[in-house]
Amino acid sequence: MSGGLLEKAQNVGGDEPTAESSTSESNEATILESPGGLLERAGVTDDAGSPFISASQKKGIAGGIVALLILFIAYQAVMGFSLGGNSISVAGVEMNEADDSLRVQVFIGTSMIGGIPDDDISIDINYGGVTAHTATFQPTAKLSWYEIPFSDFYQGNARGVASDSSDVNYIISVRQGTSSSSDYSADGAIMDRTINDVDGELIALTEPNTNCDQSGESNNCENNGLDHLGAQFRVGVGAIDPVESNSTGVMLHVGSDYTIVANISFEGTTVFTFPTVTVDGSTATWTDGGGLVESAWLGLDGTGVKLDAFGGTQNYIPRSDFYDGDGCYSIDITVTHDSPFGDVFSDSASQGYQFWWDYNETRDSSVDEDGEPNEPYEPTEAC
């Protein structure tokens, strides 16, 4: 109960009444026991239980931020973005045989917030240290193909054409605005388009003759038991290999556009001409036939057909189509290039073939007292 006016007057400027002090202490206790803010409510405390971020937690958060930054930069690199200015590069080169053009793939690197520059793209093709051609295009995408006709820049083969038999490569580079690429050396295997080496091959094809007279102890068969059916005809068309000798039959494969006229000659006189062959890249076609130039060689399938020992089909030039008696048979080949890959190139095969078919079928195959044939079999020889 209040002590009246006198007691109230005595408390002016003095201590608060006991009851009020008790209430104040209770409030202070309540304040000290209240939660420690958002960090404490989130459960973030130091090692001693204090509601603050510890040093190890700060390092973890910083490491996470760095990792995210690295991933962000890597993503930009993968997507072709850059933190600096634009960039440009040659991403690939290939041949388009359908229209005889070189396809150049160009990659444009841009910043993440920037688009593809509007500046024209210039593609430079250098051969032997000299710029053979510069083509200009409007950019179409960050990664896109651009085609340049071979007729605009072709200067000749690349492989083994230097005076020391080294390669003279076609070097491709691209420019856009202030950006330029590093040099890209095109594969000589797709840049070579000129045939400068030819060869040919005739392979005698035989089969047993089983029409035999087996009377008594004799076993007399027609043609001495072996029929010479004809010959398989192959031509080699490619480029001179500076490493391998031509006598081994090795030449560099060349994909190009050209025609082939192949003749078989006997003692200097043409006795057979194969239908004109048209080659597009490596695909060959001729009247009623076709094939594929593989590793610089093409089989010219004749009208003769027989089965091999495994049941496969063998095509050949029938004997009656070209054989004019025993002697030396050679192959003459003429290649006519489509422009701009070259002119007309003619040459003979590296060797001729001495056939003894008439002799082998009519020889005296009886044996002498030593068991040797009176007239031995004569295999095919070089001539």
* Residue 192 to residue 239: CA distance in whole angstroms: 8
Is residue 136 within 8 Å of 121, Cβ to Cβ? yes
Of the chain, the percentage scoring pLDDT greater than 90 comes to 61
Instruction: Mention the CATH class of domain 87-190.
Output: mainly beta
**Strand 304-307 and strand 179-180: pairing?**
unpaired
Confidence of residue 113 (pLDDT cuts 50, 70, 90): low
Query: SS3 for 12?
Result: coil
Structure tokens at 85: 């200015």
CA distance 333 to 347: 6
How high is the pLDDT of residue 337? Answer: 96
pLDDT given at position 72: 56
**pTM for the full predicted model:** 0.74
For strand 130-137 and strand 170-176, is the pairing parallel, antiparallel, or unpaired? unpaired
pLDDT for 76 equals 53
Confidence of residue 31 (pLDDT cuts 50, 70, 90): very low
Percent of the chain that is helix, strand, coil (3-state, to 5): 20, 40, 40
Summary mean pLDDT of the chain: 83
Provide the 3-class DSSP secondary structure of residue 247. Answer: helix
**When comparing pLDDT for 220 and 288, which is higher?**
288
How far apart (Å, rounded) are the C-alpha atoms in residues 187 and 241? Answer: 16
Give backbone dihedrals phi and psi of 240, rounded to 5 degrees, phi first: -60, 130
Domain ranges of the chain: 87-190, 197-382
